[in-house]
Amino acid sequence: MDKELIRVEDLEIRYETDDGIVYALNGVSLHVEEGETLGLVGETGAGKTTLAKGILRLIPSPPGKVVGGKVMYDGKDLLQLSDTEMHKIRGNAISMVFQDPMTSLNPVMTVGDQIAEVISVHNPGLSKEEVRERVIAILAKVGISSDRIDEFPHQFSGGMKQRVIIAIALACNPKLLLADEPTTALDVTIQAQVLDMIQNLKKELGTAMILISHDLGVVAQTCDRVAIIYAGRIVETGNLHDIYHNPQHPYTLGLLESIPSLTKNVKRLNPIKGLMPDPTDLPPGCPFAPRCNHATAKCSEAVPELREIEPGHFSRCIRTFSEGERK
């Protein structure tokens, strides 16, 4: 087994709003090993972005509040660090790429300055010229020519902006990259390019990554392991093969059935019926039970524990599914 890089334990995060308490994360645990890519999959509102922002302590407070849990990195709990210590982690050891490149860059600063900023804050000894050289180098890595260094974000296309954001995230060779749906907002043709680029840079720099996505196709292409998140809990986690070929949680099953396939001849897609429960008002039992074809009375009594089905493959369901049972 590789060396463990980061471990999230029982992370609980809430948002206290006028309309009630939003239970965004309800005890999420996961870990990432050095250099590996973990795919975090779930639908809108499942808590994916909250998890990523929670790791970096970027949850706006109020209304957000970390209620419990740990984020262990390098022998320390990130949640206990002082603000100054946390500043040294952000952008340096752990960095993040946000979903929407159109709004993630400061419109009144040149892209060069925005990249330079992260380099100079974590390398206070560098001269202006050295910083600029590094900016040019990282721009080259993400495929942007150096003569655009003094341009402003509005002069860039969406794909190019996302490259700049990736450059910012990777400028200090982080150990972990949190990529929050980095390609969702981009054109389909650009998506593949950007994804390839992230993959290559990640390999080159040896960076581990948590790739947040709702697209199981993208995850299949890029990830080593997968965690499925539903209503603020991990419902299934395992390596790529476990998840795609031996899915155990009915929600994972549902997700897999709802993607179109080119190889299998299916008459129509099977979307999961119903909606995710309201995060201000979660049911006492398994939150997926109301939508589940296999639900029994027992499901609505208590939230099932994560069970290890096979080594490294966990499911939060009281049932175990064998090959034939999945229809």
Q: Which residues bind another protein (CB under 8 A)?
A: 53, 56, 58, 60, 62, 83-84, 86-92, 95-96, 98, 100, 103-109, 117-118, 121-122, 152, 154-155, 165, 168-169
Q: Give the nearer residue to another protein in terms of CB position, either 90 or 233.
A: 90
Q: Which residues contact 112 (CB under 8 A, 6 or more apart)?
A: 132, 135, 139, 149, 150
CB of 226 to another protein, least distance (A): 24
Q: How far is the CB of 178 from another protein (least distance, A)?
A: 8
Nearer to another protein, 98 or 251 (CB): 98
H-assigned helices in the chain? 48-55, 83-89, 111-122, 128-141, 158-170, 188-205, 216-222, 240-245, 250-257
Instruction: Between 168 and 226, name the residue whose CB sits nearer to another protein.
Output: 168
Cross-sheet strand order for the sheet of 76-77? 20-33, 4-17, 64-73, 76-77
Residue 58: CB minimum distance to another protein, A: 5
Pick left, alpha or beta for residue 90 (phi over 0 → left; psi -120 to 50 → alpha; otherwise beta).
beta
By three-state DSSP, how is residue 86 classified? helix
CB of 55 to another protein, least distance (A): 11
Choice between 159 and 287, CB closer to another protein: 159
- Nearer of residues 179 and 299 to another protein, judged by Cβ: 179
Q: In terms of C-beta density within 10 A (0-12 exposed, 13-18 middle, 19 or more buried), how is residue 123 classed?
A: middle
**Nearest of 1, 16, 31 to residue 234 by alpha carbon:** 31
CB of 117 to another protein, least distance (A): 6
Exposure b/e, 249-279, CB count within 10 A at least 16 = b: bbbbbbbbbeeeeeeeeeeeeeebeeebbeb
Q: Which is nearer to another protein, 185 or 299 (CB)?
A: 185
Provide, rounded to whole angstroms, the least separation between the CB of residue 119 and another protein. 10
